[in-house]
């Protein structure tokens, strides 16, 4: 009789490597590893050998970079979705994309369960599990770090010793380093000195994708981008797909110290956590998109879209990607993007993105209206009546307060 199968979300790190023999030993499962490539780069090197050595029967390495960029990143860029005014959702956007692929592999393999290595304190457990529940409610979810009666390892030392006892020789030591998550959009850092909000980050040791702004070139660099219906189409005159544009922007942004944020954020589970995020290309792309958008959206639409962008950021951060609410917000945003077409120019200089001009065939900017000279469409006398009506509630209230004050003085 064949064993039941479990699909493990596998990164190749110590945690998920230790999970492989634990799953076999604890549940008797055949372990199918699945590493979902969202642009981790060299982190994928040597994974197959490590997974097999650890006891997995099979490893899938699934490249979803373009899917990640087109169907998860771009809806958030078009919405201007930023969590708590700083975080550009790099990890949050990737988790539903990864979960969808895990479900696909589980269906293909006939697996009865999906296992992830997220801890019981973080946001990722919620993002993985809500996505899996929405896509495959019949599949069991295993979260070792929450199963404290069965998963007894509490430290890296424990995991290394567990692997050693199972004949797994790994290139990990017991010294704890930054906890990182990387994909094409960003890299996050937690741990070490970052756990004390009063301590400045050790950027010389910490940064991976960028340089500190003070070490960026002393000369600014101009960049030109074009968009069609909110989607980037070209960079410096060269047409590319979204994933290629983000890759190029990462190089440009990293060179000029763009996109470093140090944030104390509110996790879904209720605690505050401190982390540093590097999002060089994403920061540029978001700024360029907003630069064009301010030219073509009317005031009322822009105002509501800002609210929807904030709401989408919360929805995505909380792991609720596969929900009717996310679909509805995205549908609204897509309507607002129909005419976000044109060209933006800006320069990068020591951590700054400085506007250098923007054009669009759908621009609502009228030079004759905006100039200080009187144009045909604007009569200054019309402002009298407008201000009278616009300020009427204020005037009525002020008159009432004056009347009450006089009565009180009697």
pLDDT number for residue 235: 98
More confident residue, 256 or 178: 256
Q: In the chain, what is the greatest distance between 2 CA atoms, to the nearest angstrom?
A: 97
Q: Does residue 174 carry a pLDDT above 60?
A: no
Cα 204 to chain centroid, rounded? 24
Residues shown for the chain:
410
Looking at domain 180-297+340-359, its CATH architecture is Alpha-Beta Complex (3.90)
Q: Does residue 75 carry a pLDDT above 80?
A: yes
pLDDT number for residue 42: 84
pTM for the structure as a whole: 0.93
| CATH code 3.40.50.620 for 5-76+83-176 | yes
Confidence of residue 1 (pLDDT cuts 50, 70, 90): low
Task: For residues 317-325, give the mean pLDDT.
Answer: 98
Task: For residues 366-390, give the mean pLDDT.
Answer: 79
Picking from 73-82, 135-144, 288-297, 398-407, which range would have the lowest pLDDT averaged per residue? Answer: 398-407
Condensed to tens digits (0 to 9), the pLDDT of residues 190-229 reads: 998 999 999 999 999 999 999 999 999 999 999 999 999 9
pLDDT number for residue 364: 96
Among 398, 188, 200, 167, CA closest to 277? 188
Strands 260-266 and 342-349: unpaired
Confidence of residue 45 (pLDDT cuts 50, 70, 90): confident
pLDDT number for residue 368: 67
Tell me how far apart the alpha carbons of residues 408 and 406 are, in angstroms, rounded to a whole number.
Answer: 5
pLDDT number for residue 89: 98
Condensed to tens digits (0 to 9), the pLDDT of residues 307-316 reads: 999 999 999 9
Task: For residues 60-88, give the mean pLDDT.
Answer: 98
Tell me how far apart the alpha carbons of residues 189 and 182 are, in angstroms, rounded to a whole number.
Answer: 9
Portion of the chain with pLDDT greater than 70, in percent? 97
274 — phi, psi (to 5°)? -110, 130
Tell me how far apart the alpha carbons of residues 370 and 363 are, in angstroms, rounded to a whole number.
Answer: 13
pLDDT number for residue 303: 98
SS (H, E, C) the chain: CCCCEEEEECCCCHHHHHHHHHHHHHHCCEEEEEEEECCCHHHHCCHHHHHHHCCCCEEEEEECHHHHHHHHHHHHHHHCCCECCCECCHHHHHHHHHHHHHHHHHHHHCCCEEECCCCCCCCHHHHHHHHHHHHCCCCEEECHHHCCCCCCCCCHHHHHHHHHHCCCCCCCCCCCCCEEEECCCCEEEECHHHHCCCCCCCHHHHCCCCCCHHHCCCCCEEEEEEEECCEEEEECCEECCHHHHHHHHHHHHHHCCCCEEEEEEECCCCCEEEEEEECHHHHHHHHHHHHHHHHHCCHHHHHHHHHHHHHHHHHHHCCCCCCHHHHHHHHHHHHHCCCCCEEEEEEEECCEEEEEEEECCCCCCCHHHHCCCCCCCCCCCHHHHHHHHHCHHHHHHHHHHHHHHHHHHC
Task: For residues 395-410, give the mean pLDDT.
Answer: 92
pLDDT number for residue 386: 93
Confidence of residue 173 (pLDDT cuts 50, 70, 90): low
Query: Residue ranges of the domains in the chain?
Result: 5-76+83-176, 180-297+340-359, 375-409
On the 0-12 / 13-18 / 19+ scale of CB atoms within 10 A, 406 is exposed
Answer for the pair 346, 355: CB distance below 8 angstroms, yes or no: yes
pLDDT number for residue 178: 85
On the 0-12 / 13-18 / 19+ scale of CB atoms within 10 A, 114 is buried
Confidence of residue 175 (pLDDT cuts 50, 70, 90): low
pLDDT number for residue 125: 97
Confidence of residue 154 (pLDDT cuts 50, 70, 90): confident
Confidence of residue 374 (pLDDT cuts 50, 70, 90): low
166 — phi, psi (to 5°)? -100, 15
Answer for the pair 217, 211: CB distance below 8 angstroms, yes or no: no
Q: What are the residue numbers of the active site?
A: 15, 95, 124, 179
pLDDT number for residue 134: 98
pLDDT number for residue 22: 97
Which tokens hold the place of 31?
Answer: 């372990």
Answer for the pair 7, 34: CB distance below 8 angstroms, yes or no: yes
Tell me how far apart the alpha carbons of residues 181 and 128 are, in angstroms, rounded to a whole number.
Answer: 15
279 — phi, psi (to 5°)? -135, 65
On the 0-12 / 13-18 / 19+ scale of CB atoms within 10 A, 199 is exposed
Tokens 């490597």, residue located = 17
Tell me how far apart the alpha carbons of residues 16 and 9 are, in angstroms, rounded to a whole number.
Answer: 8
């Amino acid at each position: 009789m064949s064993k039941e199968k479990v699909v493990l979300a596998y990164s190749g790190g110590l945690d998920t490597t230790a999970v492989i023999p634990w799953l076999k030993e604890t549940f008797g499962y055949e372990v199918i590893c699945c590493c979902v490539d969202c642009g981790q780069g060299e982190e994928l090197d040597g994974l197959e050998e490590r997974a097999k050595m650890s006891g997995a029967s099979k490893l899938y390495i699934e490249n979803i970079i373009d899917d990640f960029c087109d169907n998860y990143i771009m809806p958030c860029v078009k919405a201007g979705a930023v969590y708590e005014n700083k975080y550009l959702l790099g990890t949050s956007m990737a988790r539903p994309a990864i979960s969808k692929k895990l479900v696909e592999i589980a269906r293909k393999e006939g697996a009865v369960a999906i296992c992830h290595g997220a801890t019981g304190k973080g946001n990722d457990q919620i993002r993985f599990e809500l996505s899996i529940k929405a896509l495959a409610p019949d599949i069991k979810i295993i979260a070792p770090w929450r199963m404290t009666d069965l998963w007894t390892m509490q430290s890296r030392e424990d995991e290394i010793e567990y692997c050693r006892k199972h004949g797994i020789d790994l290139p990990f030591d017991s010294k704890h380093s930054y906890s990182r998550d990387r994909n094409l959009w960003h890299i996050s850092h937690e741990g070490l000195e970052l756990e004390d909000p009063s301590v400045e980050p050790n950027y010389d040791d910490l940064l991976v994708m960028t340089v500190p702004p003070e070490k960026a070139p002393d000369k600014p660099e101009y960049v030109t981008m074009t968009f069609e219906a909110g989607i980037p189409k070209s960079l410096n005159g060269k047409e590319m797909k979204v994933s290629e544009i983000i890759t190029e922007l990462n190089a440009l942004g990293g060179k000029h110290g763009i996109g470093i944020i140090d944030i104390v954020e509110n996790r879904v589970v209720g605690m505050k956590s401190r982390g540093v995020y590097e999002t060089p290309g994403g920061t540029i792309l978001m700024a360029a998109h907003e630069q064009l958008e301010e030219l073509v959206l009317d005031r009322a639409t822009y105002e509501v879209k800002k609210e929807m962008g904030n709401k989408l950021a919360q929805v995505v951060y909380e792991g609720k990607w596969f929900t009717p609410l996310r679909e509805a917000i995205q549908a609204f945003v897509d309507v607002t993007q129909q005419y976000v077409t044109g060209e933006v120019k800006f320069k990068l200089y020591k951590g700054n993105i400085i506007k250098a001009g923007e054009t669009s065939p759908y621009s609502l900017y009228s030079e004759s209206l905006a100039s200080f000279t009187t144009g045909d469409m604007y009569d200054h006398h019309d402002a009298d009546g407008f201000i009278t009506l616009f300020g009427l509630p204020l005037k009525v209230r002020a008159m009432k307060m004056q009347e009450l004050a006089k009565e009180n003085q009697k």
